[in-house]
Amino acid sequence: MKPLLKIEDLKMHFPVKGGVFLRAMGACKAVDGVSLTVNEGETVGLVGESGCGKSTLAKATARLLDPTAGRIEFEGTDITHLRRRELNPVRREMQMIFQDPAESLNPRHSVRDIVEEPLVIQKRGSRAERGKRVAELLEKVGLSESAGNRYPFEFSGGQRQRIGIARALALNPKLILCDEPVSALDVSVQSQVLNLLMELQEDFGLAYLFIAHDLAVVKHVSDRVAIMYLGKIVELAGADEIYENPKHAYTKALISAIPVADPSLDRDRRLLEGDVPSPIDPPQGCAFGHRMGHPKWEASVGMDLALREVSPGHWVQPCPCCTDES
C-alpha cells in the first residue's frame, strides 16, 4: 500500500488571550503531536469526544489552518508551508465533507452552481463540459438531474449531504476528509449515506479520513481506527482489532459507553467520571490517567508517550496508567 497522506508530529496551538492588554496567556493545544498515515484507497477512522481536536486536525490537514509545528506530506510532497496558490493542485486531490450540509452549502446558489464551483475555480472544461460533469455527479450520488435547478433548502438533510458529496467528488480527488458526515442525519438516512460513501470508495479508489464520535459507524466503514484524546492519538489499530482487543483505558471506556440496541444484554458498564478536560493548559503526562486520578499517573509525566507498536499494526500510547503493556 502506498501512503497518500502522511502527518508527522503535527501540532496546532491557538494562543489564548486575556488580561487588560490581551496578551497571550497560554495556549490551547487542540492538536498536540499527532502522527497518522492514510494509504491510497484506505479509510482511517478518527474517533474522540468533542474538543479532542479531531476537526482541528482535519482542518490543519486541508491547510485551512496553518499548523504550529510538524509536517504534512501529501503524495510525497511536503505541503505544510505551501502558499495559497501553490495549494491549488493539492486541493484538487484532497476534498472535504462537513457535518452540517445546511451550513456548508451556499443557500443562494443552485445545486448546479454549488457542484460546478470547484470545476470553475480549477478552470476545468468548457461550460457545456462542466454541465455534463455536474449531471453525471448528481446521478452518481443518487439525485435526479432536475435537482440541479433547485436550492439547498428544498432538500432534506440526507439529500443535502449527497450534494456536499457530489461537490467533493467533482475534481476526482484521491482523499476526502469527512468531518462527522452522518452525525446530523436520522438513522434510516444515515445508513443510505454510509452505503453511498462505501460505494464511491469502491468505484473511484478513494481514501477517507473519517471523523466521527459514533464508534459503531466508524468501525463499519474503516480499515484502521485511531482514538484521539485531548489533542493526542492514544491508540491506533485495525478496525476489528481495536474493538476486539482494545489496549488503552480510554478506548475501553469509550467502547463500554456505547448503548447497545439489545435489551437482553446485561452489560457491565464502566462509567467514566468527569468531563473531557479543556485543551487549554492540558495536564502533563497522560491526560486520561490524570482525568481518572490513576495512582500511576505521576509516572507518566516526563515520559516519552509516542505510540508504540504492541502487535503488528496495533499502536498504543505506552503510559503506565492506561495500558498494561509497558
Compute the residue count for the chain.
326
CA atoms within 13 A on the CB side of 116: 19
Toward another protein, which CB reaches closer, 10 or 207? 207
Q: Which is nearer to another protein, 128 or 271 (CB)?
A: 271
Question: Minimum distance between the CB of residue 246 and another protein, rounded to whole angstroms?
Answer: 12
Q: In what order do the strands lie in the sheet with 207-212?
A: 94-97, 175-179, 207-212, 43-47, 224-229, 232-238, 314-316, 308-311
Cβ proximity of 10 and 81 under 8 Å: no
Of 122 and 256, CB closest to another protein: 256
Q: Provide the minimum distance between the beta carbon of 265 and another protein in the complex, in angstroms, as a whole number.
A: 8
CB of 194 to another protein, least distance (A): 6
With respect to another protein, which residue has the nearer C-beta, 89 or 142? Answer: 142
Task: Provide the minimum distance between the beta carbon of 159 and another protein in the complex, in angstroms, as a whole number.
Answer: 7
Q: Are 41 and 33 in contact (CB under 8 A)?
A: no
Nearer to another protein, 1 or 261 (CB): 261
Binding residues for another protein, rule: CB under 8 A, are 49-50, 156-159, 186-192, 194-195, 198, 213-217, 219-223, 239-240, 243, 253-265, 267, 269, 271-273, 275-276
Return the C-alpha cell found at 27.
495556549
Q: Which is nearer to another protein, 70 or 279 (CB)?
A: 279
Minimum distance from residue 285 beta carbon to another protein (Å): 20
3-state class (DSSP) for residue 65? coil
| CB of 233 vs another protein, minimal distance in Å | 17
> Residue 35 in contact with residue 9, Cβ under 8 Å?
yes
Antiparallel, parallel or unpaired: β 224-229 and 43-47:
parallel
Helix ranges (DSSP H) in 205-301: 215-221, 239-244, 249-257, 287-292, 297-300
Q: Specify the 3-state DSSP secondary structure of 200.
A: helix
